[in-house]
């Protein structure tokens, strides 16, 4: 019984080995797919002008089938760069930028070339194809950068950035200037009003309307160093409190001191919880002043005002294209091979 068992085990082991060897040989000797022509090419340049043709030279041969024809294929990618900056305001930086690249056309046949035995080169032992392929004249790059006037400005803005971009941009700047409901960047507002010479009652709007009278909302201080007057927004109240921790500890205390004009808008007394052993000062601005600033900002400060810089309007739009081209060689069995892809920029 032991002998029979050993014989059976040895036979099964041999069958297993034979099976593995057959499987390995099958993998090693099986070739999937068909062999296409050998091919290689070079193009004249890495750039081409829209509407012109790109020249190339290709070499190819086949040892398995007769050559039928050649084709150039390429895809198309569009790159867009956008930037808009609020140049008028120096108190902070605000800009909107976008950089995108999108495929506008899948790989497709651009041009075909007949095969001929006349293309054979004895010295190269290959067929040599010299030709060119076209690039559409509609792919001219576009650059709209820092325009200095408003000719077609609205038309271009809507086409390149969208119809609501101006409103959305100003809303973004407004949000930046007002971090919270109570907090405002008054330096930025002052820069805008001064930069647009809106702190005067002599300025007229394009419609002939007199600008809101803003002179009263500012205090002027003469700076001897710069030999100029510095304007600041008038303050509503200076709320100050001082606590003597030796005798009183923590407590509520509020004192109102009217400052400047017009008369205080209300008589509400604001209380401040004092927790510091020194003077705690809080500065507020007249509500009328806030309303006046908001009115001027909303009605008399435009998108064009915000983006006007020294070199022109701080807006940029660039659009350019590139293609990835390859040469394909087909044999009469319908099999093809292709060259490496050439990236070509269109200018």
> Domain-by-domain residue ranges, the chain?
235-285
Question: Mean pLDDT, to the nearest integer, of 156-172?
Answer: 97
- Residue 269 — very low, low, confident or very high, per pLDDT cuts 50/70/90? very low
Tokens of 277: 């052993």
Residue 280 has pLDDT above 70, yes or no: no
- Residue 10 — very low, low, confident or very high, per pLDDT cuts 50/70/90? very low
pLDDT of residue 54: 98
Q: Residue 212 half-sphere exposure, CB side, CA atoms within 13 Å?
A: 18
Q: What is the CA radius of gyration of the chain?
A: 39
Question: Mean pLDDT, to the nearest integer, of 266-292?
Answer: 47
What tens digit of pLDDT does each residue of 325-339 get?
999 999 999 999 999
**Pairing of β 47-48 and β 342-346:** parallel
- Cα–Cα distances in angstroms (integers) from residue 181 to residues 48, 76, 125, 175, 273, in the given order: 55, 49, 80, 10, 21
Apex 82 CA angle, 79 and 84, nearest 5 = 175
pTM, to two decimals: 0.67
- Of residues 215 and 340, more confidence is placed in 340
**SS3 state at 105:** strand
Residue 257 has pLDDT above 50, yes or no: no
The DSSP code for 228 is: E
Distance in angstroms (rounded) separating the CA atoms of residues 66 and 30: 24
Residue 114 has pLDDT above 50, yes or no: yes
What number of other Cβ atoms are within 10 A of residue 161's Cβ?
Answer: 18
**Pairing of β 336-338 and β 53-61:** unpaired
pLDDT of residue 305: 96
- Residue 14 — very low, low, confident or very high, per pLDDT cuts 50/70/90? very low
Q: Give 189: exposed, middle or buried? Use CB within 10 Å, 0-12, 13-18, 19+.
A: buried
Residue 262 has pLDDT above 70, yes or no: no
What tens digit of pLDDT does each residue of 76-113 get?
999 999 999 999 999 999 999 999 999 999 999 999 99
Distance in angstroms (rounded) separating the CA atoms of residues 290 and 235: 11
**How far is Cα of residue 200 from the mean position of the Cα atoms in its chain?**
39
Question: Mean pLDDT, to the nearest integer, of 251-257?
Answer: 36
Q: Residue 105 half-sphere exposure, CB side, CA atoms within 13 Å?
A: 15
pLDDT of residue 193: 85
């Amino acid at each position: 019984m032991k002998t029979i068992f050993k014989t059976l085990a040895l036979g099964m082991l041999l069958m297993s080995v034979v099976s593995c060897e057959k499987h390995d040989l099958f993998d090693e000797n099986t070739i999937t797919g068909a062999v296409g022509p050998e091919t290689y090419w070079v193009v004249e340049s890495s750039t081409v002008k829209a509407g012109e043709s790109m020249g190339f030279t290709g070499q190819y041969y086949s040892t398995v089938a007769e050559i039928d024809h050649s084709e150039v294929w390429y895809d198309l990618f569009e790159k867009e760069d956008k930037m808009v900056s609020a140049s008028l305001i120096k108190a902070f930086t605000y800009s909107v930028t976008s950089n995108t690249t999108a495929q506008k056309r899948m790989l497709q046949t651009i041009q075909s070339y007949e095969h001929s035995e006349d293309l054979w080169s004895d010295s190269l032992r290959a067929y040599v194809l010299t030709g060119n392929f076209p690039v559409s004249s509609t792919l001219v790059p576009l650059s709209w950068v820092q325009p200095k006037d408003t000719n077609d400005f609205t038309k271009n803005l809507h086409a390149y950035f969208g119809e609501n971009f101006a409103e959305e941009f100003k809303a973004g700047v407004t949000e930046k200037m007002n971090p919270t409901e109570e907090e405002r960047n008054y330096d930025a507002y002052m820069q805008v009003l001064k930069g647009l010479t809106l702190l005067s009652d002599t300025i007229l709007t394009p419609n002939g309307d007199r600008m809101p009278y803003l002179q009263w909302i500012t205090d002027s201080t003469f700076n001897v160093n710069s030999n100029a007057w510095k304007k600041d927004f008038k303050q509503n109240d200076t709320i100050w409190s001082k606590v003597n921790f030796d005798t009183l500890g923590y407590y509520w205390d509020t004192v109102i001191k009217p400052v400047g004009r017009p008369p205080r808008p209300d008589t509400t007394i604001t209380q401040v919880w004092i927790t510091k052993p020194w003077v705690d000062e809080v500065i507020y601005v007249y509500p009328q002043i806030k309303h006046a600033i908001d009115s001027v900002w909303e009605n008399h400060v435009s998108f064009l005002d915000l983006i006007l810089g020294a070199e022109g309007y701080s807006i940029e739009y660039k659009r350019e294209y590139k293609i990835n081209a390859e040469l394909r060689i087909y044999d009469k069995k319908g099999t093809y091979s292709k060259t490496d892809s050439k990236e070509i920029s269109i200018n």
